Structure 1
Amino acid sequence: MSATNRFHQVANDALVMISENLNPDAKLALVIYTPGEPELDIVLKDGGLSVDEVVNTLRRRGGLSLDGDNVYKRSVCDVIIGALATGKQNNNPPPADHWSLEFWDIGRAEGAQRDELVAALEHLVTVTTPDANGQIGAEEEHLASLDHARALIRLHRA
């Protein structure tokens, strides 16, 4: 029997002995890692164990805080930031069933608001710029453009 197989057998036997002394509904997991060598990681877990509950337990009792820094949280934040940015640019949407779509949609809505504001400002500048004779366009169009700009300002201040 190889050393790895012996270890698994001993670890499994120890977990069985420990689990016999736990509350009936308790679940058990053993994680062994070697820093910098993820290929050596070992995870042994009870059947029906919820990995989310393990993470919640580490958060509550093991010092895993939302304020701390780790690669997983940094990666999740990077995906969120990327989804917001690409949504604002209205390109590269995630698949329809991907969790980051919600953030892409938020970015897209922000981009649409920006586009609407810029278009209103461009139109306002166009209708209020004097022509070669120093004349400004039709007063009705000028006033309508100002009203539109004011409405957008009110909308975005709310």
Structure 2
Amino acid sequence: MPKALLREVAMDCISDMAQHLPTDCELFVIACRPGKADYDLVLPSPEANLNNVLDALRRPGLSIDGANIYKEAVCDLAIGAMAMGKQNNNPPPEGHWGERFWDIGRAEGQQRDDLVAALEHLVTVTTPDANGQIGAKEEHLAALENARAMIRLHRA
């Protein structure tokens, strides 16, 4: 049966089927050919919500552990947003769901930047100058304390 004919038959049947359901039920007719998109058909009744069908599929065992391209794309976006955030570039639009992943990456990048800055400062104040002298004792001790604080922060 051609896909167009199946769609037409399903559309005719959907209202008949819906009449036999409680009024708060949502009806979906779904046809697919695994591995191919040529026969994909998703027909919701007018009041149906796709999130509800996902919940209904999860109840009998649909899991986030199985492989599918949608899930892989979501994970790729989250990983990419964290990487962009760590580099502090290409933030998502304000309010986009990927923004929280970008923020996680940015926080990690900021911690790295703070740690590198503390180490650079410590190296600067403890490196002997041309006369073999090390910077002022107070500055040296402050840089050491800052480095210790950064180490404690990163171990927490």
What is the deviation of 1:116? 0.5
3-state DSSP class of the match of 1:31? strand
After superposing the two structures, state which structure 1 stretch, 127-136 or 140-149, moved more. 127-136
Between Structure 1 and Structure 2, which shows a larger proportion of strand residues? Answer: 2
Amino acid at match of 1:136: I
Matches within 5 A, 1:63-102: 63-102=61-100
Tell me the distance in 1 between the aligned counterparts of 2:95 and 2:136: 50
Amino acid at match of 1:49: A
Poorly superposed stretches of 4+, deviation over 6 Å: none
3-state DSSP class of the match of 1:80? helix
The unaligned stretches of length 5 or more in structure 1 are none
Instruction: Count how many residue pairs are aligned between Structure 1 and Structure 2.
Output: 156
**So what's the TM-score if we normalise by structure 1?**
0.87
The unaligned stretches of length 5 or more in structure 2 are none
Matches within 5 A, 1:33-52: 33-52=32-51
> 1:35-80 CA distances to partner (integer Å, 9 max, x unpaired)?
444253222111111100111111112x320111111111100000
What is the deviation of 1:23? 2.3
Tell me the distance in 2 between the aligned counterparts of 1:150 and 1:66: 41
Residue 115 (structure 1) aligns with? 113
CA RMSD of aligned residues (A): 2.0
Residue 154 (structure 2) aligns with? 156
